[in-house]
Copies of this chain bind each other. A is one copy, B any other.
């Protein structure tokens, strides 16, 4: 008898009309406030709000009153900064992760944590669905939903932007009026023309004039960093201390993961570091222009490569480099909670056992300059590399045999008359 006869995916075909309770990723802003009301009205269900402090730089506590005003009874407001950096940002940086040669994945890496908490809260509150405010054109819907499905396969997902017809600012404002959504939810200060996302790792900008990739970003768009021009004329030096691939102290002072990143953001931003302006390929198949400020991440990437440069085995480093684009793609596409990410992480983490030591940096007007690296675990051996006498630790004659055997296959081919030029 086969052991595989049972149904695995016992999904009662869940009719959307059956939904009783939904957990919403709630920012407290206008859009997600509209979503609260829209969910209540459309699905006739209870809404649980979840608001997280991931270091976006705005108070999260005000979301409570707003949610209450919308009749929400279960309100989750949490400070996830340490968990975010320790369990998501740091593991990602161990791989020197960059998407498409440029992007430090600031948005991508925050989504799996939000997905995880949405599902945990759904389990705690007995909710059968989750919801979010991401549009149907972007990557974030995918990251939220893949995470949710991976952690709770029978969950229902409601993505209002893919369902409703409130597709313009006007229709949205009209909905507010008609549904008694308090006016002050809408930001009174001049609204940024950009679509933005922020967390402790970065802030991103999309839309408006950025939709023309030939148009230079305006200088007043940027919020976290001064321009290189406005940065101090004096360089800032800094020592970072690594243990197993993670920064544990700066200038000799031990710091928690979130504190490390906050500090690097501050100093990096002051020195004009971490601005990026790119066109990237979304998982949904289109190209999009994005501007990003990642001061701390830009510093961490450079410094991590520097500490690895003296502590990591060559083939380990090359294996990591060859798999990095794939690992980046896994994260960018939203597959953090997957077997392939776990496998890659195991491999990466294994390599970091000896990635300990100090990196000295010079920060100056947008530049992150590595000026020194040292480690008890260094593999750099002056006595071998030296141009001076090496006391016999390396026999130059070995190189002749090394080259001869590396050349053998090509010599045979050329000997057969093959043209290798």
Contact = CB atoms under 8 A, between A and B. Distances in A.
A379 B5 CA distance: 11
Interface residues of A, number: 151
B212 A382 contact: yes
Interface stretch (A60-68, A138-146, A256-264): A138-146
A309 interface: yes
Nearest to A313: B339
A8 B216 CA distance: 22
Copies per assembly? 4
Interface string A139-170: 00110011001111110010101100001100
A412 B153 contact: yes
A414 B152 contact: yes
A396 B314 contact: no
User: Max chain B CB contacts within 10 Å: which of A12, A157, A318?
Assistant: A318
Contacts of A78: none
A233 B227 CA distance: 13
A8 B383 contact: yes
Given A313-B413, A413-B313, A214 B340 contact: no
Contacts of A398: 136, 400-402, 404-405
A152 to B, nearest CB: 7
A365 B364 CA distance: 9
Contacts of A314: 281, 285, 287, 409
User: Max chain B CB contacts within 10 Å: which of A11, A135, A360, A420?
Assistant: A420
Given A212-B382, A342-B350, 16 more contacts: A5-B212, A100-B321, A142-B399, A149-B407, A153-B414, A162-B400, A284-B402, A287-B380, A288-B385, A313-B339, A313-B410, A313-B413, A338-B420, A343-B350, A395-B401, A399-B405
